[in-house]
Amino acid sequence: MSKYYTASQAAEMFNIELPDECREVDKIYPALISEYYLNLIEREDPQTDPIWQQVMPHSAELADDGMIEDGLGEVAQSPTSRLIHRYADRAVLLTTGRCATRCRFCFRKRAWRHGGELGDISDSELDDAIDYLKANNQLREVLISGGDPLMLSNRRLQTIIDKINTVQSIEVIRIASRIPVTWPQRINRELIDILSAAGNIWFLTHFNHPQEITEQSTAACQALINAGIPVLNQSVLLKGINNSAGILEELFRKLVKIKVKPHYLFHIDPVHGVWHFATGIKRGLEIMRELRPRLSSLATPIFAIDLPDGGGKVNLQPNYRTTNGFTAIDGRIIEHPGKNM
């Protein structure tokens, strides 16, 4: 088990007075920080630290930003209480509302809003989901998500994986978990053996800043990779935390070095209470353009945004085309000799 801190305990540790507005936010979306993750705070002035900013309540979270909690329209695309089915070949299974550390920019804060927490998936909810998967044989991939699915016991995870793998059409199981970043000690031998034995698991984790790549988080990723489980990373572009080409370059390089593929970089979602982290797409594209000549394709994620109302993820690319050619990586305009370009 990990030790957890509340917002006021964490503030006390750093001799900081929590402003009243933050206490109000905390009543609705209560902070929870693992001991390990809290110890990653390096700065003398913690409020500017990238770890602190990811976990401590901010007054802007209750601002009227014109958005709703379920801004992606997940509930409307839920055929059973725990499944979200948006794309033809894949569906998300919500297994718990618990996390080892709660992120302020979480797009699924409604799963841990005070009083409305999503409990752990029950046997009957799991069976409903499995029945749906069996009845929809175009589904090939299940994303086990939450909350953080690795908050469940190894035994419970084993049951969930086994049941999903009784569905004939399912080829791949994706586990979406931030635990290698926030509580890497959870990636224990027994868990690795379960995931490895399933034979069809891909692991998607969530590093946002180079400061999160420690000996322990590296060891957790290595253990998964050495057991034959591919590990990919999804980051969120966060204003004031990682919105510079320099920080992202360092993050993506370090990830590749530990054999974790930077897969997605998401613009913040159109969800209530997180929009103060938005950089805007224009700024994100500038960063992507800046990174392209500096970073190998191995280290370069897809930049994308999830659309409101169940519209799905769309990829965002700088536009390299001009009226009669292309803008080259060094900025020159180059005409292409091919016909019908």
Ligand X SMILES: *Cc1c(COP(=O)(O)O)cnc(C)c1O
Residue 87 annotated as catalytic: yes
Per-residue HEC secondary structure of 240-261 comes to: CCCCCHHHHHHHHHHHHHCCCE
* C-alpha torsion angle, residues 302, 97, 175, 89 (rounded to 10): -70
Out of 239, 276, 283, 313, name the contact with ligand X by CB under 6 A. Answer: 313
Residue 294 annotated as catalytic: no
| Residues numbered 132-151 forming contacts with ligand X, rule: CB under 6 A | 143
Here's the x/- map for ligand SF4, 271-310, by CB under 6 A: it reads as: ----------------------------------------
Instruction: Verify binding: residue 87, ligand X, rule CB under 6 A.
Output: yes
Nearer to ligand SF4, 106 or 291 (CB): 106
Nearer to ligand X, 22 or 304 (CB): 304
Nearer to ligand X, 102 or 263 (CB): 263
14's contact among ligand X, ligand SF4, none, with CB below 5 to 8 A by partner kind, is: none
* C-alpha torsion angle, residues 67, 70, 71, 72 (rounded to 10): 180
Out of 178, 263, 267, 272, name the contact with ligand SF4 by CB under 6 A. Answer: 178
Whether 276 contacts 67, CB under 8 Å: no
87's contact among ligand X, ligand SF4, none, with CB below 5 to 8 A by partner kind, is: ligand X
Nearer to ligand X, 41 or 164 (CB): 164
Q: With the C-alpha atoms ordered 331, 247, 235, 299, is the resulting torsion angle positive or negative?
A: positive
Out of 16, 28, 90, 250, name the contact with ligand X by CB under 6 A. Answer: 90
Piece of 62-70, 80-88, 161-169, 326-334 that binds ligand X (CB under 6 A) = 80-88
Residue 162 annotated as catalytic: no
Piece of 78-86, 123-131, 146-154, 293-301 that binds ligand SF4 (CB under 6 A) = 146-154
Here's the x/- map for ligand SF4, 231-260, by CB under 6 A: it reads as: ------------------------------
Residue 221 annotated as catalytic: no
Per-residue HEC secondary structure of 183-223 comes to: CHHHCCHHHHHHHHHHCCEEEEECCCCHHHCCHHHHHHHHH
84's contact among ligand X, ligand SF4, none, with CB below 5 to 8 A by partner kind, is: ligand X
Nearer to ligand X, 91 or 130 (CB): 91
| Residues numbered 94-113 forming contacts with ligand SF4, rule: CB under 6 A | 99, 102-103, 106, 108
Which residues are known catalytic residues? 86-87, 90, 99, 103, 106, 108, 269, 306, 313
Residues at the contact surface with ligand X, assessed by CB under 6 A: 84, 86-87, 90, 92, 143, 313
Residues at the contact surface with ligand SF4, assessed by CB under 6 A: 99, 102-103, 106, 108, 146-148, 178
